[in-house]
Amino acid sequence: DDNNTTGRFLDQQFSLEDIRLEGGADAAAATMALAERGVSLMIVDLPADALLKAADAGAARKLLFFNVGALDDRLREEDCRANVIHTAPTRSMLADALAQYLVWKQWRRWLLVVGSHAEDTLYGEALRRSAKRFGARIVQEKVFEDTGGARRTDSGVVQIQRQLPVFTQGAPAYDVLVAADESEVFAAYLPYWTWDPRPVAGSAGLVPTSWDGAHDQWGAVQLQDRFMRIFSRRMTARDMQAWTAARMIGESASRTRSADPKAMLDFLAGPDFALAAFKGQRLTLRDWNLQLRQPILLSDGRTIVSVSPQEGFLHQVSELDTLGFDRPESRCRLK
150 and 162 in a common domain: yes
Q: How confident is the model at residue 291 (pLDDT cuts 50, 70, 90)?
A: very high
The more confident residue out of 86 and 7 is 86
- Specify whether 77 is located in the same domain as 121: no
Per-residue pLDDT band for 159 (boundaries 50, 70, 90) equals low
Which of 178, 201, 224 delimits the end of a domain?
201
- Where helices occur in the chain by DSSP H, the ranges are 2-7, 27-36, 48-59, 91-104, 118-134, 156-168, 220-231, 237-256, 261-268
Residues 72-96 have a mean pLDDT of: 98
Q: Are residues 49 and 133 in the same domain?
A: no
**Do 81 and 100 fall within a single domain?**
no
With beta carbons less than 8 A apart as the criterion, state whether 145 and 116 touch.
yes
**Please, are residues 219 and 193 in contact by the beta-carbon 8 Å criterion?**
no
Indicate whether 305 belongs to any domain.
no
Assigned domain for 255 exists: yes
The secondary structure of 97-134 as a DSSP string is HHHHHHHHTT--EEEEEEESSHHHHHHHHHHHHHHHHH
- Residue 301 included in any domain: no
What is the pLDDT, as a whole number, of residue 22?
Answer: 83
Across the beta sheet with 176-180, the strand order is 137-144, 109-115, 176-180, 200-202
Q: What is the pLDDT of residue 90?
A: 98
- Determine, yes or no, domain membership for 160: yes
Q: What is the mean pLDDT of residues 179-206?
A: 95
Hey, what's the torsion of the CAs at 105, 110, 115, 118, to 10 degrees? Answer: 80
DSSP states of 204-238: SSBEEES--TT--TTTHHHHHHHHHHHHSS---HH
pLDDT of residue 154: 46
pLDDT at res. 7: 55
Length of the chain as a residue count:
335
Domain that holds residue 114: 92-201
The CATH number given to whatever domain includes residue 143 is 3.40.50.2300
Residue range 217-232: mean pLDDT, rounded: 95
Report whether pLDDT(4) > 70. no
Beta bridge partners, 201, equal 178, 206
Residues 116 and 195 in one domain: yes
From 186, 201, 216, the end of a domain falls on 201
Total domains in the chain come to 2
- The per-residue pLDDT for 124 is 98
Out of 185, 201, 217, pick the residue that ends a domain: 201
**Does residue 209 lie in a domain region?**
no
pLDDT level of residue 217 (50, 70, 90 thresholds): very high
| Domain co-membership, 67 together with 96 | no
User: Which pTM was predicted?
Assistant: 0.93
DSSP 292: B
User: Between vectors from CA 97 to CA 322 and to CA 236, what angle results, nearest 5°?
Assistant: 125
Position 156 pLDDT exceeds 60: no
pLDDT surpasses 80 at 152: no
> What CA–CA distances, in Å, run from 245 to 160, 291, 295, 332?
41, 12, 16, 21
At 86-105, the pLDDT tens digits run: 999 999 999 999 999 999 99
